Amino acid sequence: MDAPQRYSPGRFFRDREINEKVGITSEKALWEWVEGGAQPPHPEGTVPLSPASERTFYRGQPDDGYALVSRLFREIWANDPAVTESKMQNAEQHLLRVLKHGEGLGRLMTDGELLAVLQHHGIPTRLIDVSAGPLEALFFAVDRAEDTDGRLFIIELPVLKNGLPDIIDLTAQDALEWEGTALGPHYAKSTWTNRVAVIHPNDLDPRMRAQRGRFLVGGLTASYPDRTMTFKGKRLTAQQLDATSNLGIFFPKNSAPGAKWPAKAWTVRIKKQWKRGLRDRLKALGKPITMDSMYPPIGEVRRLALREIGRLSRTYSVPPS
């Protein structure tokens, strides 16, 4: 008799991946599906979402066993599995104090703008990086971990008003919009635990522009009677929900609607054997997606730029023949 499987985010996602439902059986089929807009399986009779809908976002992860969590959540979880909104906000405020007042970062920036910059440069925050396009997200699922399957997420936010999702503007106020939503050491306001919002950085940073970068943010996953998911026939505990995603994201199985969740997501597994070929396909695009194009080495090309300007300027002193 087989031993019962322990719960893990990787097993949960494999139980819900949509590869077969959307016909992904090969590298070529996956590529055609992504180029076609990476549409998840919607119930018959509904209109598929356009990638330009401004409420569909994509995230690629190189290891199919990784949870869908922010780096700040992961750093706290490593030392303290009982992560709460209070602990997240305390860590966030401490980080901002140290960097703004101790290091002088963020002059003339709101706390939210500084968080976006920190996230962008690999410092743990509660923001989760996503892309507005599936091709850009695919890159992050295949750019490393050659011996491990990757994973692509398609995340859909509901319409709130004017056809748009829940949007947070980091430039609108100095204080963070979620500051003060913790209620004591264990709880948080329901208005925050029921949110998954998108942040558009609206900047000209070449890296964020190349990645079509956005951020998702929201309250920590809360287990309500009408907000549940199951694995192997058993309802996930609050801790298992946390371990899967720290945001209130519902992963459908079959036709379950998940109407009470603030966001919905589907996932595709990318076989390790496909990674090299998919990188080659991304590189061959008219606007190539490569390590250099997605992480423009601005600091490293200074010497090249100076050399080229010097070389060109020297030609100006040569009289025409």
The Cα 115–Cα 298 span in angstroms is 21
pLDDT mean over 227-254: 91
How would residue 224 be classed by pLDDT, with cut points 50, 70 and 90? confident
Tokens of 248: 């209130």
307 domain-assigned: no
Tokens of 320: 């025409």
Helix (H, G, I), strand (E, B) or coil at 198: strand
pLDDT mean over 62-81: 93
Is the pLDDT score of 290 beyond 70?
A: yes
How would residue 248 be classed by pLDDT, with cut points 50, 70 and 90? very high
The Cα 244–Cα 65 span in angstroms is 10
Is the pLDDT score of 125 beyond 90?
A: yes
Contact 39, 46 (CB under 8 A): no
Give CA angle at 92 (90, 93), nearest 5°. 65
Output the average pLDDT for the chain: 88
125 domain-assigned: yes
202 domain-assigned: yes
182 domain-assigned: yes
pLDDT of residue 112: 92
Among 1-5, 158-162, 264-268, the range scoring the smallest mean pLDDT is 1-5
Task: State the angle between helix axes of 71-79 and 85-97 in degrees (0 to 180), rounded to the nearest 10.
Answer: 110
Helix (H, G, I), strand (E, B) or coil at 199: strand
The Cα 135–Cα 149 span in angstroms is 17
Residues recorded for the chain: 321
109 versus 216: which is more confidently predicted? 216
- Residues of the chain with pLDDT > 70, as a percent, come to 89
Is the pLDDT score of 215 beyond 90?
A: yes
Convert 37-60 to b/e letters by CB count within 10 Å (16 or more is b): ebbbeeeeeeeebebebbbbbbbb
How would residue 3 be classed by pLDDT, with cut points 50, 70 and 90? very low
Is the pLDDT score of 320 beyond 70?
A: no
Is the pLDDT score of 318 beyond 70?
A: no
DSSP string, 236-275: PPHHHHHHHBSS-EE---TT---TTSSEEEEEEEE-GGGH
317 domain-assigned: no
How would residue 205 be classed by pLDDT, with cut points 50, 70 and 90? confident
312 domain-assigned: no
Among 75-79, 120-124, 238-242, the range scoring the smallest mean pLDDT is 120-124
The Cα 302–Cα 119 span in angstroms is 24
284 domain-assigned: no
The Cα 163–Cα 69 span in angstroms is 27
In the chain, which residue ranges form alpha helices assigned H by DSSP? 9-16, 27-35, 71-79, 85-97, 111-120, 134-142, 190-193, 206-210, 238-244, 275-283, 291-294, 302-316
> How many structural domains comprise the chain?
1
How would residue 253 be classed by pLDDT, with cut points 50, 70 and 90? confident
User: Mind listing the pLDDT tens digit for each residue in 45-61?
Assistant: 556 665 556 899 999 99
pLDDT of residue 321: 56
Is the pLDDT score of 271 beyond 90?
A: yes
- Residues of the chain with pLDDT > 90, as a percent, come to 60
314 domain-assigned: no
pTM of the model: 0.90
Contact 244, 67 (CB under 8 A): yes
- List strands edge to edge, sheet with 196-199: 196-199, 213-218, 128-131, 56-61, 150-156, 263-270, 249-250
Structural domain for 218, as ranges? 9-275
User: Mind listing the pLDDT tens digit for each residue in 72-115?
Assistant: 999 999 988 889 999 999 999 999 989 888 888 888 889 999 99
Is the pLDDT score of 308 beyond 90?
A: no
If one counts every other C-beta atom within 10 angstroms of the C-beta of residue 252, the result is 19
